[in-house]
Structure 1
Amino acid sequence: MELKGIIPALLTPLTKEQKINEPVLRQLTSHLIESGVHGIFALGTNGEFHLFTKEEKLKIAQVIIDEVKGRIPVIIGTGGNSTEEVIELSKQMEDLGANALSVITPYFVTPTQEEVIVHFQRITEETSLPVLLYNIPSKTGMSLEPHTVAKLADVPNIVGIKDSSGSFENIKNYIHVTKDKDFSVFAGTDSLILKTLGAGGVGAVAATANMVPDIVVSIYTSWLKGFNNEAEEAQKKLQPLRDTFQYGTLPSALKKAVELYGIPVGPPKLPVSELSGEGLEKVKEMVAGYKKQNAL
């Protein structure tokens, strides 16, 4: 399965008791497929991967893979600090039927570029699945340098990267150093989707697609058809939603927005609290604005 287009960075629905909400996880997954997304990216940052046990991660993946039933690619995040831990989880996700893996750089520790190359090489030796690198320096404390990505792009089953650095310059550098390789660059910052496509990227792993998948998909489909004005308009429509992310610890604002929109994804995983006060009011205003425009 080719990885390209708009791939939502899936939220993980929870009950008030902090348990995985399987019916809503199925509901959200099906809704996104019906909205025309090109894949599912589960257990990423917005999926709160770092707060779940291995057993919970396997349960989440199992439910999504069962619900998707091969209709679109399912990419599962298996990243962690220990190389051994990532290998073990990656093998289990492969056994469950994942189509690809996303592996974030180690966090808390700050490995050198040489160390992180060995980390990814070891992981890919133990799985036959395609691997998407995941760069998000604001959360991990380290960034994959372009020369590192160029070297990793030569590893047969490392097929691309999701860049959430927020830097378009970084995305352009990744595209430049891998232009002669079979390697795909995805925007991981939703404000940069159209710019990334224009620079030679293949799509986006987009958190905003949890709430407004139709708008996010239309950026890609309009761009493909050469309708640049329509693509630009769709890109601009994401900003009010993105602007509310500042009002709570990730992903509390997005979870509340999706809940108000109509899919009861529930609270964030503790220690992150549900949105309240001014932040809640701002999100309510934002959702009402989208509804007024018939965007939902």
Structure 2
Amino acid sequence: MNIQGIIPAILTPLTEEEHFHPEVTKQLIDHLIDSGVHGIFALGTNGEFHLFSEEEKLQIAETVVKAAGGRVPVYMGAGENSTKATIKLSNMFADLGVDVLSVITPYFVAPSQEELYEHFRHISENVTIPILLYNIPSRTGVSLAPETVARLSVLPNVLGIKDSSGDIANIKAYLDVTKDEEFVVLAGTDSLILETLKLGGTGAVAATANVLPKTVVGIYESFQQGNLDQSEQCQQQLQPLRATFTLGTLPAPLKKAAELSGIPVGPPKSPVKALSGEALEAVMNMMENYRIQAKAAKES
């Protein structure tokens, strides 16, 4: 299958009691697909995957697959700390109709590169649907080396990698070592979407698309049309939203921004707390500025 375009890393909507909210999840997915996204990526970092039980993850996956309804591919975060647990969850997701598994490197533990290779090789040999590797060293404490990615890229169902290192040199290295394979590299850091496309990446898994889906899609589509100025303009429009990510523990700022955009995604899951005080005011001001800009653009 083709892994390309803008794939929102969706927030996981919750009730005020922090229970999964299927109805709002469908609302969010319909809104994103109507905005032109090319896939749906659930149970990622901003989807708070690490805070849900296996039962909750299965409920989320089933809801997302049904809500997408085959309109776009569904990517699901299946990575657990143990290899066996990852294989078990991956196969349950496959049975629910998930199209692609996103498999994060183990976290808290710090495997060697050989251990990482064996982890992913064993998963690859025991699941039937495509795998997208997920590298986010700031959260896991370990990074997939380009040489390891090159070894993994030859496995038949390892189709690509989402890199959230924030290092464009790392993305370039992944592209260089896999250039002879049918293997894709996606930006996982939203500020690097355009730079990744310029280097030969095929798209992005983008959390900002929860709030600004048309803008993020605009980066990709303008680039595909050869309109680099428009693509750069869309890329720059993400910066005010991204700047608020430091105002609270993720995904609290993003959830508040999504709520203010009209999708009632609810609070983050404890121990993360919803924004308040000056942080909340800053996010409200940021969203108001986006509304003013959108209105002005419509009237011009």
Whether TM-score is above 0.5 comes out as yes
2:279 and 2:104 map into 1 onto residues whose CA distance is: 29
Q: Aligned pairs, how many? A: 296
Displacement, 1:40? Answer: 0.5
1:154 and 1:114 map into 2 onto residues whose CA distance is: 16
Q: Deviations for 1:229-251, whole angstroms, at most 9, x for unmatched residues?
A: 00000000000000000000010
Displacement, 1:80? Answer: 1.0
What TM-score comes out, normalization by structure 1 length?
Answer: 0.99
Q: Residue 294 of structure 1 aligns to a residue in which SS?
A: helix
The AA in structure 2 aligned to 1:76 is M
Q: Which residue of 1 is the match for residue 181 of structure 2?
A: 181
Q: Deviations for 1:243-276, whole angstroms, at most 9, x for unmatched residues?
A: 0000000100000000011100000010100011
2:209 and 2:159 map into 1 onto residues whose CA distance is: 23
Displacement, 1:126? Answer: 1.1
The AA in structure 1 aligned to 2:67 is E
1:162 and 1:282 map into 2 onto residues whose CA distance is: 30
Q: Which residue of 1 is the match for residue 149 of structure 2?
A: 149
Unaligned runs of 5+ in 1: none
1:282 and 1:175 map into 2 onto residues whose CA distance is: 38
Q: Residue 109 of structure 1 aligns to a residue in which SS?
A: coil
2:125 and 2:63 map into 1 onto residues whose CA distance is: 27
1:286 and 1:180 map into 2 onto residues whose CA distance is: 43
Q: Which structure 1 residue ranges, 4+ long, deviate > 4 Å from structure 2? A: none
Aligned pairs (5 A) from 1:241-260: 241-260=241-260
The AA in structure 2 aligned to 1:141 is G
Displacement, 1:286? Answer: 0.5
Unaligned runs of 5+ in 2: none
Q: Deviations for 1:69-104, whole angstroms, at most 9, x for unmatched residues?
A: 111100000001011100000000000000010000
1:66 and 1:287 map into 2 onto residues whose CA distance is: 30
Percent identity, aligned pairs only, is 59
Displacement, 1:278? Answer: 1.2
Query: Quick check: 1:293 aligned with 2:293?
Result: yes
Q: Deviations for 1:96-116, whole angstroms, at most 9, x for unmatched residues?
A: 000010000000100000001
The AA in structure 1 aligned to 2:102 is S
Query: Quick check: 1:22 aligned with 2:22?
Result: yes
The AA in structure 1 aligned to 2:269 is K
Displacement, 1:277? Answer: 1.2
Displacement, 1:294? Answer: 1.0
Q: Which residue of 1 is the match for residue 271 of structure 2?
A: 271
**Structure 1 vs Structure 2 CA RMSD:** 0.9
Aligned pairs (5 A) from 1:90-169: 90-169=90-169
Q: Which residue of 1 is the match for residue 41 of structure 2?
A: 41
Q: Residue 294 of structure 2 aligns to a residue in which SS?
A: coil
Q: Which residue of 2 is the match for residue 12 of structure 1?
A: 12
The AA in structure 1 aligned to 2:62 is Q
Displacement, 1:128? Answer: 1.2
The AA in structure 2 aligned to 1:63 is T
1:158 and 1:169 map into 2 onto residues whose CA distance is: 22
Query: Quick check: 1:3 aligned with 2:3?
Result: yes
Q: Which residue of 2 is the match for residue 215 of structure 1?
A: 215
What TM-score comes out, normalization by structure 2 length?
Answer: 0.98
1:89 and 1:11 map into 2 onto residues whose CA distance is: 20
2:119 and 2:275 map into 1 onto residues whose CA distance is: 37
Q: Residue 271 of structure 1 aligns to a residue in which SS?
A: coil
1:185 and 1:15 map into 2 onto residues whose CA distance is: 35
2:113 and 2:278 map into 1 onto residues whose CA distance is: 42
Displacement, 1:2? Answer: 1.4
Query: Quick check: 1:231 aligned with 2:231?
Result: yes
Q: Residue 160 of structure 2 aligns to a residue in which SS?
A: strand
Q: Residue 293 of structure 1 aligns to a residue in which SS?
A: helix
1:286 and 1:167 map into 2 onto residues whose CA distance is: 26
